[in-house]
Amino acid sequence: MYGDLLEIWKNELKTNELTKLPKDFVQKVAEYLKEIDKESKMLDKKTVKASLLNIEALNIKRMLNEIMRIRRHKLIKKALRGEKISELLSFEEEFYSKLAPLLELHQESVRNVLMGRGAATKIEHKYFVLRFLAEIPEIIGSDMKVYGPFKAEDVAVLPVENAKIFVKQGLAVSVEIC
C-alpha cells in the first residue's frame, strides 16, 4: 500500500490531469492505517519497529493530505474552465458538483455587473425523483437540506447533484414521472 500511495503522489505531482484512483482508494488507505495502528499498539513504544510503524503512518497521512490537496487544486482549475470530469472519488464528485454551479453564479454576476445589471444572487436547485436500491444513511443535500435515511425501494426527491452521484454509484435509479 505504501508503494502504491507513493506512486499516486508522484503521478499527481507530474501531470495536470487527475490520476485515476480506485473507488475504494480512501477506504483502503484508512484500513492500512488501522492495521499499522493496531500493530503498533501491540509493540513496546521504545522498539525500533514501533518507531518505524509510527513514521510510516505519519508519512502515509502526509502523502494522502498532499494528494488530496493537489487533486482539489486540479478540480478547482477544471471547474473554472468548465471542464467535465469523470473518474472522481465520491466526495470529489460532490465537491465538484457544488463548486461548478457556484463558479457559474460568480461568472454570471460579473457579466451582469459589466452589463449594468445587478449581480446574480440565487442558484436554482433542480431535483430528481429516485428509487433507492440499497440502504443509504442520512445526507446533507447540495441545497443544504437533510435527506434520508433511505431503505432499498424507498422513493425520494433529491437535488440533481446528489441524485447523479447515487445513480452513478448504482445505489439508486432515476424515476420517470409521466
pLDDT (tens digit, 9 = 90+) per residue, 55-95?
A: 888 888 899 889 888 888 888 888 788 777 777 887 787 77
**CATH numbers and ranges of domains, the chain:** 2-90 (1.20.58.1030), 127-174 (3.40.5.50)
Confidence at 46, pLDDT banded by 50, 70, 90? confident
Confidence at 170, pLDDT banded by 50, 70, 90? very high
Our measurement of the distance from residue 82's CA atom to the centroid of its chain's CA atoms, rounded to an integer in Å, reads 18
Q: Which residues does residue 64 pair with via DSSP β-bridges, in sequence order?
A: none
- Structural contact between residues 69 and 61, judged by C-beta atoms closer than 8 angstroms: no
Rounded Cα gap, residues 173 and 69, in angstroms: 32
Q: Which residue has the cell 495536470?
A: 16
Rounded Cα gap, residues 50 and 37, in angstroms: 10
Instruction: Decide which of 120 and 156 is more confident.
Output: 156
CA distances (Å), origin 125, targets 37, 145, 157, 159: 43, 11, 12, 6
Confidence at 120, pLDDT banded by 50, 70, 90? low
One-letter amino acid of 35: E
